[in-house]
Structure 1
Amino acid sequence: MSHDGVGPRAALRSVALLTAGMLAVPALAGCGSDDDPAGEPLAGADIGRAERAGITDGGTLRWAVDTVPDTLNTFQADADTTTSRIAQAVLPSMYRMDGRGRAVRNPDYLESAEVVDTEPRQVVLYKLNQQAVWSDGREIGAADFAAQWRALSGKDTAYWTARNAGYDRIEKIERGENDLEVKVTFRRPYADWRSLFTPLYPKEVMGTPDSFNDGARRKLKVTAGPFTVQKVDTEEDEVTLTRNARWWGDPAKLSRIVLRAVPRDKRISALSAGTVDLAEIDPAAARRITVAALPQNENSPLMGPGADRSAADALRSWAVANGSDEDAADEELSARRKLRKKAAKYARQQKALTGFEVRTSLEPAYTQLALNGADGPLADERVRRAVARALDREDIAGAVLKPLGLPAEPVGSHLALAGQAAYADSSGALGEQDAKEARALLADAGWVPGGPVKEEKKKDEGEEAAGAEGEEAGSGEGSGSGSEGDDGTYIVGEDDEKDGDGGDTGAGSGDDKAPRDSGTGAQRLPQGSAPGAYAPEGTAAPARAGNAPVAKDGKALTLRFVLPSGPGSDTLATVAGRISVMLERIGIRTDVSRVDDESYFKDHIASGEYDLALYSWPATAFPATDARPVYSKPVPAADGSLNVEQNYTRVGTDQVDQLFDQAIGTLDDAERHALIRKADSRIWAAAGSIPLYQRPQLTAVRKNLANAGAFGFRTPVYEDMGFLKKSAQGPSGTPGARSSGTPSGD
């Protein structure tokens, strides 16, 4: 399981993919004008674009996904990324995302939609495509819109909905002048009205609480997309979609799409075995596929099992296998047989992988460092700002993205990504990296270098105490350093390197920009010396004194850094290692704990059992609606607990809430975007979360598969996906006119 994923705009930004620490991505983002100064996306879609005329009619696409979903209703709390993928293929969407992250009208369902009145109420008039019908032959119309509004309005608690944002602002829904017109009247102005009715479910699903809660969990009897749901097979862990015979748009090229649940660490095996044609993969898998495509000769680097064995290792192995110690010889011969089998399997896989290529882009999502401001040292804004000012975000982004050949620019906004209408780099509200300023902020908060540290009792037998002294922090290749305890935790600043090897990104630690402290323990004055006495003028400062650990009230400043430990988490481990080293330079130590993927979010992030954590949020062009619960100020609930909604850092301000409220009711695009950027500046200043980099999107694709791959911002067009005719294939079987990866500008 991973906590990074992409899916349509779901009812709740729920957990999707843990290995890279992300929450489910809304499918639809963005409405904006071409005049917005947002620049271009850092990377465009890479989907092997081809004309429909060059694609074979028929065939089955086997698509690796993370899960077979527990529900097909995207508006339920347990909906996931696969739920969203299915909805995109089988249900109406009034708007879809283009290559710049803008919501654009979907002509298959919508001839037009516009605000036709603002006084005394905002009124939106939808004119539907006259050919748009459900799979049972009934026309899509006002009754479906009204049923969805009633289900999601929040007025009837019998509906188990994940959220009602936007729908709760609707006053009424009426039929227009004819059956093809739907008139939606809002009781309060709602700028993000384009976010509604995508996806749109039939009234048969939304009409009653029973049908909403249970009727669409395992099947959708009525659909209206290029595909229909044929079967959800929990035993085979796959969902089968088939062509919709009543689809009025361009007919689907594929006969079937099979969404097959394949764990991330098993996808290379599935690809090489020919059981899947399309799969999102990690950087290590991407390297294997890239290497497989290269011409092999005697100068090619050895890879796979045994590749790291030197000539001396081979000679030693031969000597043991042929030596007089029979037990040792048998053991060595057995090990050599196993190694040969592994090498042969690896070679077979590499040969099979020559039929695939890696298509790359950037996901519409970013990874952040979250700082829990609920209690402890990070409850002090000065400490949070010190942590933020210590980070070299360019270095972190480069470590992750440069080895993949992707643009390595740090993300400058919490609320949009480069290319989207609302994007602006507001990180200046926090300030640039500056270790001196970071140490000054710590000192202002009472955390000073060289203060006495009280001995603390160890919580568990064999556990390292938070105030452990006198060890040196090693840099390691793409990692921090630490000493592992019995509970799986380790403290950066200890001898042993226990972080990820950084192999998935190919990122090394890079050149340190500041010397590290060789002694992380507390500084103690000699007996009889006077605290605060000055050394004679000209006396040299102790080496690396600027990196001395900071302490307050006899306690060193040590932050709990929680990370997932499952497959695909190596990139996060690399990032965490770099962050830990950067914090050590200003005197902050990190106690890094690797926890099980399944418990990472529920038991640590959502419950607030962490100081620092890495996870990701999706970008959305409806930030006034979608991002408000992520950054709104937590408020006490009726039972005395703290209602944080989705603000897992527990950091918020009244001003940010007010700016969101103003933006959500502002229909003028330019004015709304200005309010969103202002809110983002305030979020930066509060330093509850620090955006680091836009997430890489790496997709392994069979070479002759067109119009599929790394979609970037773009919503997949399922009816255009298919396998190329031989006449349309390039020299290596790829689409004859591959996308350059640049935005199309549409």
Structure 2
Amino acid sequence: MVSQSAAPRTGSTDINEQPRSALKTGGTLNLSIQQWISQYNVGQVDGTQGDAQAILAMTQPRLWFLDESAKPSPNPDVLAAAAVTGTNPQVVTYKLNPAAIWSDQTPITWQDFATQWKTRNGADKRFQISGSTGYDVIANVEKGADEREVKVTFREPYADWQSLFDPLLPGTALDTPAEFNTGWIEKVPVWGGPWKIGTADKTAQTITLVPNPGYWGVKPVLDSVVFRALDSAAITDAYLNSEIDQAPGRQPDDYKRLAGAARTKIRSGGRWDLTVLTLGSKGPLADVRVRQAIGAAIDRDAIAKAQSSGLPFAVHTVGNHFLMPSQDGYADNAAEYGKLDLARAKSLLEQAGYAGKPLKLTYVVSASSTSTVPQLIQNMLAQAGITIELRKVPGNDFFEKYVNTGSFDLVSFRNVDQVFPSLSYPVFLSNGEQNYGRIGSPEIDKLIGQAAAETDHPKQIPLLNQIDVLLWQEEHSIALFQTPQILAVRDGLANFGAFGLRDDRQYVEVGYLK
């Protein structure tokens, strides 16, 4: 039996922080990813997969780095300065590093900002976007004092302006619908970050990043970072065979095998990491009573306890779609909508007309996942008379062909690093591009508009919690639990591991100790 301590607070980190002088020059970092990356354009509807976003961010200019509390500070390689320079209307002025250039040797200028705004604000429906939040309230993007100064004017106040244009993408590589939608399939056509894609071997399912020779800023210590698509079940063995240098210990069996491995340190932290059950709205699920019955039939505490077994930390339920426990403003808003009550579940099903006829639903599961959550939920819903078919689909198809297209009744996955509330708005707006279950309401939409425009953070928190209460009532999705970061990492690796809320993961400081 593993003795358990309190889970790391949200924001805590463990990365073996070291100065560059303590690191060897060169070396390779080998990492696993969930699937082969088919779409690298983070602004495109199929570009929301987390590994794709992480790899893209290494190859493109990052405007901001986040500290342990998720507070942004400018990346000096790209931003000389950025600030709100007007409040009525809100104006943000960016001053770019005059040395910043794209891989095609053109300078990074205000026009790249203008193109990102025009392609992602939702005005031109030919651009298949992943979300317009923030870009849709910009009135204009124009040249400032020179080509390297950008003046962004908003139609209404926008709190999370620092979440926009980051990473910045090359305007010339996505300014037409064809380039935007298909020009980034399985490739990064132009880059402007510290890394570039060296090789992409679809047969071996590996993507190798190498330093960008034209990068003007802080250059990587490592010679390469190799990403390899692996099924979850294969990751621990790959780590123990020294094929990769990091492996998650979130599952008890994995943790047990990894904790005693040679040349290994277990690093833990508190990341924004929420496992969520997303519900569809087709057929029986169009009735909110059926969705609420599902919420009443699920024992979230039992699911969290099952995830905790054999781990060094107890995994806890989360009662909020925007904030993690221990984050400022967190409130548990689940109420009866996230509480086990079988009698209530059966009553709601009777009211919805399922007293005598069976209710059968499909739960889409990635074949590469080792999570026990789908089986647990299947068993729980059976107690309320709901039959669940677990439909396993190929890991490479899970998001693109099923989740993103709304082809499910139930589906569960992890949402990570949603540290700006606005990153979640496209998930909850009724016409939001990432609202795959198509559940929402005019009231939720109105409150999201108010929260987005509230630049005073203490005043924004109550609005987020009001929205959250309504999300639970609608049973839009059921927040399940926060997973602590528990990672097995090669013991000689520095500036790498459990980053918590930190986001400076362009990996330029990662390396092996001398």
**Which of 86, 90, 93 is 1:125 aligned to?**
93
* One-letter amino acid matched to 2:343: R
What is the deviation of 1:235?
4.0
1:657 Cα offset (Å): 1.3
- Would you say the 8 A contact 2:16–2:493 is kept in 1? yes
The reply on whether 1:98 has 2:67 as its aligned counterpart is yes
Q: Specify which of 412, 418, 422 is matched with residue 620 of structure 1.
A: 418
Q: 2:272 aligns with which of 364, 384, 388?
A: 364
- Answer yes or no: is the 8 Å Cα contact 1:421–1:621 preserved in 2: no
* 1:414 is the counterpart of 2:321: yes
CA contact (8 A) 1:631 1:647 kept: yes
Whole-angstrom CA distance in 1 between matches of 2:408 and 2:9: 33
Q: CA deviation at 1:722?
A: 0.6
The whole-number CA distance in structure 2 between the counterparts of 1:388 and 1:255 is 49
Corresponding position of 2:343? 439
SS in 2 for 1:267: helix
Q: 1:225 aligns with which of 193, 203, 221?
A: 193
2:25 & 2:35 partners in 1: Cα distance?
A: 28
Equivalent-residue separation in structure 2 for 1:402 and 1:172 (angstroms): 53
Mapping of residues 75-86 of structure 1, within 5 Å: 75-79=43-47, 80-86=49-55
Shift of 1:444: 6.8
Shift in Å, 1:110: 2.0
Structure 2 segments unaligned to the other structure (5+ residues): 1-7
1:190 — aligned with what? 158
CA distance in 1, matches of 2:181, 2:349: 50
| Kept after mapping to 2: 8 A contact 1:422/1:676 | no
| Displacement of 1:384 | 3.9
Name the structure, 1 or 2, with higher relative contact order (CA <8 Å, separation 6+): 2
Aligned mate of 2:428, from 631, 651, 666: 631
Instruction: Provide the residue aligned with 1:546 in structure 2.
Output: none
Q: CA separation of 1:419/1:247 partners in 2, compared to 1, >3 Å: closer, same or farther? A: farther
What is the DSSP-based 3-state SS (H/G/I as helix, E as strand, rest coil) of the residue aligned with 2:153? Answer: strand
Q: How far does residue 259 in structure 1 lie from its aligned partner after superposition? A: 2.1
Tell me how far apart the structure 1 counterparts of residues 481 and 217 of structure 2 sit (CA, whole Å).
Answer: 38
What is the distance in 1 between the residues matched to 2:43 and 2:459?
30
What code does the residue aligned with 2:308 have? L
- 1:393 is aligned to 2:295: no
Contact 1:559 1:612 in 2 (8 A): no
Matches of 1:86 and 1:279, distance apart in 2:
17
The Cα shift of 1:578 comes to 6.2
Q: One-letter code of the match for 1:692?
A: L
Matched ranges for 1:500-579 at <5 A: 554-555=356-357, 558-560=359-361, 562-564=363-365, 566-573=367-374, 575-576=376-377, 579=380
Counterpart of 1:403 in 2: which secondary structure?
Answer: coil
Cα deviation, residue 413, structure 1: 0.5
Using the TM superposition, give the Cα deviation of residue 379 of structure 1 relative to its aligned residue in structure 2, in angstroms.
Answer: 4.6
Shift of 1:679: 0.7
**Contact 1:219-1:231 at 8 Å conserved across structures:** no
Other-structure match for 1:719:
508
Of all paired residues, the percent bearing the same amino acid is 32
What are the superposed Cα offsets for residues 64-123 of structure 1, whole Å, 9 maximum, x if unpaired? 22334224322233334333222222211112333334444333322332222232x321
Q: Is the 8 A contact 2:320 2:479 kept in 1?
A: yes
Q: CA offsets, 1:201-220, max 9 Å, x none?
A: 22332344555455544554
- The one-letter amino acid paired with 1:110 is L
Deviation per CA, 1:10-65: give whole Å up to 9, x if none.
xxxxxxxxxxxxxxxxxxxxxxxxxxxxxx94462333333322111111222222
Instruction: Name the structure 1 match of 2:470.
Output: 682
Q: Could you tell me how far apart the structure 2 residues matched to 1:114 and 1:256 are?
A: 35
Mean CA deviation greater in 210-219 or 161-170: 210-219
Question: In 2 relative to 1, CA 71–591 (structure 1 residues): closer, same or farther, beyond 3 Å?
Answer: closer
CA-to-aligned-CA distance 1:118-171 (integer Å, 9 cap, x gap): 32x321111223443445655432122223223333444554544433223323
Query: What code does the residue aligned with 2:78 have?
Result: Y
SS at match of 1:232: strand
Partner Cα separation in structure 2 for residue 573 and residue 441 of structure 1: 19
> What is the count of residue pairs matched by the alignment?
504
Match of residue 67, structure 1, among 17, 35, 38:
35
Superposed CA deviations along residues 462-481 of structure 1, whole A, max 9, x for unmatched, are: xxxxxxxxxxxxxxxxxxxx
TM-score by length of 2: 0.85
1:659 pairs with 2:447: yes
Q: RMSD of aligned C-alpha atoms? A: 3.4
Answer whether contact 1:134 1:140 (CA < 8 A) is retained: yes
Partner amino acid, structure 2, of 1:90: T
Question: What are the ranges of 5 or more consecutive residues in structure 1 without an aligned counterpart?
Answer: 1-39, 294-353, 449-550, 635-643, 726-746
* TM-score for the superposition, normalised by structure 1: 0.60
Give the corresponding residue for 1:424.
331
Distance change (3 Å), C-alpha of 1:102 and 1:683? farther
Amino acid at match of 2:304: A
CA contact (8 A) 2:10 2:271 kept: no
After superposition, residues 346-357 of structure 1 pair within 5 angstroms as 354-357=262-265
SS at match of 2:150: strand
**SS in structure 2 opposite 1:719?**
coil
Aligned partners of 2:250 and 2:311 also within 8 Å: no
SS at match of 1:151: helix
**1:431-470 → structure 2 map (5 Å cutoff):** 433=339, 435=341, 439-440=343-344, 442-443=346-347, 446=350
Superposed, 1:473-488 pairs within 5 Å as none
Deviates more, 1:53-62 or 1:79-88: 79-88
For 1:258, the equivalent position in structure 2 comes to 226
TM-aligned CA deviation for residue 198 of structure 1: 0.8
Map of 1:267 onto structure 2? 235
Output one character per residue of 1:242-281: Cα deviation in whole Å (capped at 9) or x when no partner. Answer: 2234434433211222223333333344334433323446
Partner-residue secondary structure (3-state), 2:310: helix
Cα-to-partner distance string for 1:665-692 (whole Å, 9 max, x where unaligned):
2333222222111111111222332211
1:285 alignment partner AA: D
Say if 1:596 and 1:696 are closer, same or farther in 2 by CA, change over 3 A.
farther
| Structure of larger gyration radius | 1
Equivalence map 1:101-112=2 (5 Å): 101-112=70-81
Q: Distance in 2 between matches of 1:69 and 1:601?
A: 11
Question: Larger deviation: 207-216 or 413-422?
Answer: 207-216
Q: For residue 228 of structure 2, give the secondary structure of its aligned residue in structure 1.
A: strand
Q: 2-side partners of 1:217 and 1:445: how far apart?
A: 44
